[in-house]
Structure 1
Amino acid sequence: MPTHAQAHVQHTPPALSETEQALARWEDDGGPAFEPRPGPQAGQWLRIAAALTERLPELAEREDVIVTCEHGTRSGAPAAFFPATAQLEIDAALFAPLNPATIDPTQVGDEENYPVAWGALTHEAAHAAHSRWMTPLPLRGTAVDTAAQLLEESRAEHAHLGRRPGDRRYLRAAIHTLVLEDFTSQTPTDRWQAAAAAGLILARRDAGILDEDETDALENTVTAILGPDLLDTLTAIWTAAHATADEDEQAMLEHARAWCQALSTDPSGPEPTPDPTAGHQGELAEAIGKVLGAVAANEAAQAAAQARVAAAQTARTRAKAAQAAHARQAAQTAEKVFAPGGRPYTPGKATKSRGRSPVTGTRPPTRAEKTAAGQLARALRAAAYRERTTTVTASAAPPGRLNMRQALARDAQKAAGAIPTATPWVHTVHRAGPTPPLRVGIAVDVSGSMSVAAAPIASAAWIVAKAAALTDPDSCSATVAYDRSITAITAPGRAPARVTEFDASGMGHSLAEAIDALEAGAGLTQPGTGRLLVIASDGCYHPDESDLAAGRIAALRATGCAVLWLAFDPDPRPLPGATLLELADPAQAAAAIGKAATAALAATNP
């Protein structure tokens, strides 16, 4: 039987270290106090040990256990627990290759940097919390003692996972340290050693620490050595041990005796010596190595999946933060563009620095424009209309219409002494569907190349604003003219009494900022509304201007807002994401915008 499994719980106090022995000698001699020479980084490991002692109560639910962390342990195991003195030791080598100065267990989550060491600490904490029994002194060192300590390994971890299931990943990370060192290329493949391998690995599978696909290689090897019947017997023993209470010493000893008897071993005698003639040496170590490789592969895949999830969450968080920042920026731009007074706003310049306004004056709407606004309003109302929804429910009691067939069936059920299930009353409810409002933003290029479109777009802007106001109180539109500066033509939610006229003789294109102003001012990202952005331009922009505006268009499209690009030039250059509508006559702009707005409203799902 491997000795490592027995070394985890030391029922005798730890032996004195050389330093402690030297201190004792100096005290007996009555000489000056002995001051041991500190080793390299000894202070750091003392700090780490104190921090582990501070964190241990959350693992073991005990506050009396002291943790020591040094290079090398008194027990000879990588980690061990001493119940008699409530001490827990862990080898500092388990933290390699980390610099101890970078280790801070007081910070929750720091254990992610050293999962193997934390897994060993968790295993010993499981013993501190649940290994509340001990083998009687006369049986120490016997085969039954060895078998009992072996069964206690997975039993303690099984009980620990019942309290802290999240510690499973750390116990898995420490499997190599806790098990593999017990099996080497010199370990014979006899029945006792094969049973030990099963009790350390397959029992952890049944305890919920390892997965079945990870232990297949060892199970096949152990079955070939022990036979399926004996393996089933041993499985039943460790399964019963997992259900044993922490203080039930007699039950654990009975399980250990059953283990010895199943392997034809005298429980009161010594542990069987390895049989060097039993099969190929190293076969068990090779099978366990495959198990650990499968565990490592699964953990790596799980870590990669978690990393992808974390990256996606981070990306979503950053996207939300960027979206919120953009919304704040758009609101600030809208506030400046649609501020009272109608003065142009030049992005990137101080508020007092205003560009030249393209507005040349206002005029009363013509009869044709009023007629067009009324016709568009009727078309928008028709597009916003939603059929009534009808809901039919059946019940055992009024209100509703009486279904005689169901009523007779219910009477028959009552007469037969059965529980009536027929529902003779039918209730029909008609509900009118909500009417979605309309949101339209119009951005007009007023650079010098767009002079031919100024008058038709001014007329179209008034027609759309008037029609939106006539359609629904919650509907609104807004129009801005942009070159290097941005000027409000019609403000959001206001039905202009007069048509605002403007010319096109500017330079530059602040389309991205114009879209921001319309997005916030007209509510182009508000769900449950028909939304449309109209851009009237030839698209002859500087690459930097195009890139910024294309990003804004893509973001609006992602929210469900339709984007229409009106072009009157023989060589239009619409930005990506916009639907191009090339008009031979600028006078067709009003009809084209109205048709697109009607389509956007009809496609809305409120």
Structure 2
Amino acid sequence: MTTLVPAHVHHHPPAVTETEEALARWEDDGGPLYDPVPRPDAAEWLRISAELTERLPELAGREDILVTCAPGTLSGAPAAYFPATANLEIDEALFTPHRPRTLHPQRAGDEDRYPVAWGAMIHEAAHAAHSRWLTPTVPRGTAQRAAAEMLEESRAEAAHLARRPDDRRFLRATVHTVLMADMMANAPADRWQAAFAAGLLLARRDAGILDPDESEPVETAVTAILGPDLLAQLAAIWKAAHATADDDTEAMLAHGQAWCQALGQQPQAPEPPLIPGGSGPDGGDGALTEAVGQTVRAVRRNEQAQAAARQHADAARHNRARTKAEHAEQQRQATQIAGQVFAPGARPVLPGRRPDKRRKLRTPVTGTRTPTGAERAAAGRLARALRTAAYRERTAIITASAAPPGRLNMRQALARDAQQAAGAVPSATPWIHTQRKHTPTPPLRVAIAVDVSGSMGAAAGPIASAAWILARATALTDPDSRSATVAYDRALTAITAPGRTPARVTEFEATGGAHRLAEAIDALTAGLGLDHPGAGRLLVIASDGHYNPDEAASAAARITALRTARCAVLWLAFAPGARPLEGATFLELTDPAQAAAAISTAASTALTTANRA
């Protein structure tokens, strides 16, 4: 065969193989029994063939085609389609380096592992779906028929891409791995073969399979052999072929004839023989071969870059989906913990465990007391500061008009009179109206997490006082404001539940172990909606920050998430040497009454954030 690429569509049944001959002799005249040598992976390839047959209808839109995978093919091409027998064959070698037992084509997405083999099947499926023009009367081997069949290669792929544009990357893999490798081996350099290279490669560019930058070296080399005018004439032929109907035999043969005439070749004459090695009479010196190689490398490079980009995008989608699932699971667990912690009459709760009525955890709460005058005064001052921080100035809406009401702008009035005197349509607007509008003040959502581990023993009294001052002040700010307080060590204990204003100061002792700050933040977030906009949101953590790395990492992740959700985080310490987590505003206090001003500043920041949300 003299063409650059073996034919992919065979209108006659495949030739009889030696195996079939041996079987026929045994059946007809008692010849020696054929005893094939079994292959260890033959069953796997039969399974693969069956699974490819199941997937083919989605590619070709036909259910009558049988796919066969075998070592080598009857046609000699890496893949081929036989319309007479509705059979599609694929060389097993295209699946290299995968072992047959690892191939599962029936699974959508498995084809990503062997794009060359899948691209070959797509190419043949394109022929099965679109190469429906009848077997030509022109004999095989003539220049006209060879040209028509060559034009059909890109025409079928163009028609396929119109139906399934996402198959482009697989067709590209087949082009640069199968078609171009054969062209590199045969080194086309004369006019006929250079024209065929253009019809196979540049036509695929115009079909949308190759990119212009990839085919540019081939275009330059072909132009040097054929000249720009002849190349433009050939391009017009393959573009006309792309627009030809699937079953228009006469048009495709006419395109083949026009191709031959453009190259000065007799249509009914035998196809010109292949001149190897770049020694054609038209001065070919291997430049086209090198250009094909550059195109091969460019396509491979671009495909690798695109594959890396797809992998990166897939990984990013997977990470987003995993993050979303983890966030949903965390929210579910947080809601469950909040329900246990803030349940009426709830006792201390171990996060992640079901309440055990037979084993009650020791509560850190030791009792309650009446707030002192100083604490009441501090709560009142903090409430006034929070109301001031929550107050919003009225917004002014200024509109200009040609008629009252409003304030008269004399400059605009004179301009309007001048326009009227000149006979022009007046456009000046002398009346300025200002409308002031009150904007709603957002309520507060204040969450307080109190560390009651053993290291906080000396600060238990001041923290209890500061927690009451903050909760009381929040309640005095606005009827819709809410606060909640949770004490945490290895367990969580509700000091005040959302919406309940403490009348007395809850006292506790700090003798526990471990630090479940992350779970305490989850409970407070779910109970008060700290991650939802529409309110001024503030999380106050009273702790020395002496946590193990795992505890600190979990709590820091929750703080970062709240900061991302535009919730302010304030860290209070009542002794030197505290280690606040990153993302929180740190305040060291020795007197609970001093916390009012500092918390007021933090609340102002929270309200400002809520206003901008």
SS at match of 1:533: strand
CA 1:184 to 1:445, structure 2 compared with 1: closer, same or farther past 3 Å? Answer: closer
Query: What amino acid sits opposite 2:306 in the alignment?
Result: Q
Q: CA deviation at 1:538?
A: 2.8
SS at match of 1:12: coil
Contact 1:337–1:487 (Cα < 8 Å) also in 2: yes
Q: CA deviation at 1:144?
A: 0.9
CA 1:426 to 1:239, structure 2 compared with 1: closer, same or farther past 3 Å? Answer: farther
Query: What amino acid sits opposite 1:248 in the alignment?
Result: D
1:361 aligns to what? 367
CA 1:543 to 1:223, structure 2 compared with 1: closer, same or farther past 3 Å? Answer: closer
1:142 aligns to what? 142
Q: CA deviation at 1:161?
A: 0.8
Q: Which has the higher mean CA deviation after the structures are superposed, 429-438 or 159-168? A: 429-438
Distance 2:452 2:105 in 1: 64
Q: CA deviation at 1:207?
A: 0.4
2:335 aligns to what? 331
Aligned positions of 1:274-423 closer than 5 A: 274-275=274-275, 276-278=279-281, 279-280=283-284, 282-341=286-345, 343-346=347-350, 351-352=356-357, 353-387=359-393
Distance 2:401 2:122 in 1: 59
Give the TM-score normalised by structure 1: 0.88
> What's the % identity of the aligned pairs?
65
2:502 aligns to what? 496
Aligned positions of 1:59-98 closer than 5 A: 59-98=59-98
SS at match of 1:329: helix
Q: Which has the higher mean CA deviation after the structures are superposed, 59-68 or 129-138? A: 129-138
The correspondence for 1:569, drawn from 561, 575, 581, is 575
Deviations along 1:121-168, whole A, 9 cap, x unmatched? 111111111112246334432111111111111111111111111111
Aligned positions of 1:204-603 closer than 5 A: 204-275=204-275, 276-278=279-281, 279-280=283-284, 282-341=286-345, 343-346=347-350, 351-352=356-357, 353-387=359-393, 432-447=438-453, 449-603=455-609
Query: What amino acid sits opposite 2:563 in the alignment?
Result: R
Query: What amino acid sits opposite 2:310 in the alignment?
Result: Q
2:115 aligns to what? 115
Contact 2:176–2:300 (Cα < 8 Å) also in 1: no
Over aligned residues, Cα RMSD in angstroms?
Answer: 3.7
Deviations along 1:467-500, whole A, 9 cap, x unmatched? 3233334321112233444332222111122222
SS at match of 1:272: coil
Deviations along 1:275-310, whole A, 9 cap, x unmatched? 544335544333212212111111110111111111
Give the TM-score normalised by structure 2: 0.87
Query: What amino acid sits opposite 1:486 in the alignment?
Result: L
SS at match of 1:603: helix
Query: What amino acid sits opposite 2:113 in the alignment?
Result: N
SS at match of 1:174: helix
Deviations along 1:331-373, whole A, 9 cap, x unmatched? 3333333333353335577645444433332233445544443
SS at match of 2:498: coil
Q: Which has the higher mean CA deviation after the structures are superposed, 482-491 or 187-196? A: 482-491
Contact 1:13–1:82 (Cα < 8 Å) also in 2: yes
Distance 1:96 1:393 in 2: 74
SS at match of 2:69: strand
SS at match of 1:441: strand
Q: CA deviation at 1:535?
A: 1.9
CA 1:135 to 1:148, structure 2 compared with 1: closer, same or farther past 3 Å? Answer: farther
Q: Which has the higher mean CA deviation after the structures are superposed, 539-548 or 51-60? A: 539-548
Aligned positions of 1:172-183 closer than 5 A: 172-183=172-183
Unaligned runs of 5+ residues in structure 2 are none
Distance 2:118 2:400 in 1: 61
Distance 1:422 1:63 in 2: 74
Contact 1:452–1:586 (Cα < 8 Å) also in 2: no
| Residue-pair matches, total | 599
Query: What amino acid sits opposite 1:498 in the alignment?
Result: R
Distance 1:110 1:88 in 2: 20
Deviations along 1:436-482, whole A, 9 cap, x unmatched? 22111122233455455434433332332233233334321112233
Distance 1:142 1:217 in 2: 30
Query: What amino acid sits opposite 2:67 in the alignment?
Result: V
CA 1:391 to 1:218, structure 2 compared with 1: closer, same or farther past 3 Å? Answer: farther
Q: Which has the higher mean CA deviation after the structures are superposed, 206-215 or 444-453? A: 444-453
Distance 1:291 1:61 in 2: 32
Distance 1:347 1:473 in 2: 31
Q: CA deviation at 1:390?
A: 6.2
Q: Which has the higher mean CA deviation after the structures are superposed, 554-563 or 387-396? A: 387-396
Contact 2:374–2:593 (Cα < 8 Å) also in 1: no
Q: CA deviation at 1:111?
A: 1.6
Q: CA deviation at 1:583?
A: 2.0
SS at match of 1:287: helix
Deviations along 1:82-124, whole A, 9 cap, x unmatched? 2222222222221222222222222222222221111111111
Contact 1:135–1:145 (Cα < 8 Å) also in 2: no
2:28 aligns to what? 28
Contact 1:214–1:291 (Cα < 8 Å) also in 2: yes
2:197 aligns to what? 197
Q: Which has the higher mean CA deviation after the structures are superposed, 186-195 or 176-185? A: 176-185
Q: CA deviation at 1:392?
A: 7.7
Q: Which has the higher mean CA deviation after the structures are superposed, 123-132 or 86-95? A: 86-95
Query: What amino acid sits opposite 2:300 in the alignment?
Result: A
Contact 1:531–1:562 (Cα < 8 Å) also in 2: yes
Query: What amino acid sits opposite 1:109 in the alignment?
Result: G
Q: CA deviation at 1:3?
A: 2.6
Q: CA deviation at 1:195?
A: 0.6
Distance 2:461 2:346 in 1: 19
Q: Which has the higher mean CA deviation after the structures are superposed, 239-248 or 53-62? A: 53-62
CA 1:428 to 1:135, structure 2 compared with 1: closer, same or farther past 3 Å? Answer: farther
CA 1:449 to 1:135, structure 2 compared with 1: closer, same or farther past 3 Å? Answer: closer
Q: Which has the higher mean CA deviation after the structures are superposed, 63-72 or 262-271? A: 63-72
Q: Which has the higher mean CA deviation after the structures are superposed, 456-465 or 34-43? A: 34-43
CA 1:422 to 1:118, structure 2 compared with 1: closer, same or farther past 3 Å? Answer: farther
Unaligned runs of 5+ residues in structure 1 are none
CA 1:103 to 1:597, structure 2 compared with 1: closer, same or farther past 3 Å? Answer: same
1:57 aligns to what? 57
SS at match of 1:80: strand
SS at match of 2:566: coil
Contact 2:154–2:204 (Cα < 8 Å) also in 1: yes
Q: CA deviation at 1:242?
A: 0.7
Query: What amino acid sits opposite 2:252 in the alignment?
Result: M
Q: Which has the higher mean CA deviation after the structures are superposed, 276-285 or 97-106? A: 276-285
